[in-house]
Amino acid sequence: MPANILLVEDEPAIQELIAFNLTQAGHHVMRADSAESAQNIVRNALPDLILLDWMLPGMTGIELAKKLRAEERTKTIPLIMLTARSDEQDKITGLDTGADDYITKPFSPRELQARIKAVLRRRAPQVTDDLVEVQGLKLDPTTHRVTGNGEHIDLGPTEFRLLHYFMTHPERVHSRAQLLDQVWGDHVFVEERTVDVHIRRLRSALEATNFDRLIQTVRGTGYRLSAQ
């Protein structure tokens, strides 16, 4: 599934090459050549993943990673460090800042794609194209189909994204604000009660196959998908 990737790289040739390969793979790429410009982009919209060069003009990639991990709004964004520094201590430093992976230059486009897919599968499974299943309820992001015990379930686009997020984050309680950020998108100005409307629509669509029972209301907190 296409991901919104922020590429922070100050070398024009390297930035162009990486961006080209990511675009060819179907991803949407936002570019920044400094930590400051990257921060401006993140203020407007959260990416699904950040590729961050260590050596940047002004604020280094390590310093930016620390800032991102220290802020509530950005601390969970998947982050891969890109660097020519291959010493073990440098890798430890990069990972200690909160990076999810560390790739040393030069690297092949195939290696980068594999690393990105692995990090997204681990940290942001809702933006991968992996089929997910919970007790006979199946959702396929590639074909955009949902079935319950083999029976087709018709969902609108928002309900599909909502169910996909729930199914890739089972047993966790999500507040309305969290669901708005993750399903509707960061900085989208929608009333929190809109979530309730789409939860009702989702439950209604799942009712015929008896899977509406999976979508649970947690009083005073939000919603969760639970098979228990």
- The pLDDT score that the predictor gives to residue 177 is 83
What is the token pair recorded at 50?
Answer: 């950040």
pLDDT category at 118 given cuts 50, 70, 90 is confident
SS3 153: strand
SS3 218: strand
List phi, psi (to 5°) of 75: -70, -20
Task: Give the CA-trace dihedral at 74, 123, 13, 40, to 10 degrees.
Answer: -10
Q: Which of 14-18, 117-121, 153-157 has the lowest mean pLDDT?
A: 117-121
- The pLDDT score that the predictor gives to residue 94 is 66
What is the token pair recorded at 173?
Answer: 């309680």
In the chain, the largest separation of any two C-alpha atoms, in whole Å, equals 58
CA 6/CA 46 separation, integer angstroms: 9
Q: What is the mean pLDDT of residues 199-216?
A: 95
Residue predicted with more confidence, 23 or 120: 23
Share of the chain above pLDDT 90, in %: 46
CA 106/CA 93 separation, integer angstroms: 19
Helix (H) or strand (E) holding 61, with range, is helix 61-70
Whole-number average pLDDT of the chain = 87
Q: What is the mean pLDDT of residues 146-171?
A: 92
- The pLDDT score that the predictor gives to residue 75 is 85
> What's the angle, vertex CA 171, arms to CA 205 and CA 95, rounded to 5?
125
pLDDT category at 130 given cuts 50, 70, 90 is confident
Q: What is the mean pLDDT of residues 22-49?
A: 91
Residue 215 pairs in a beta bridge with: 225
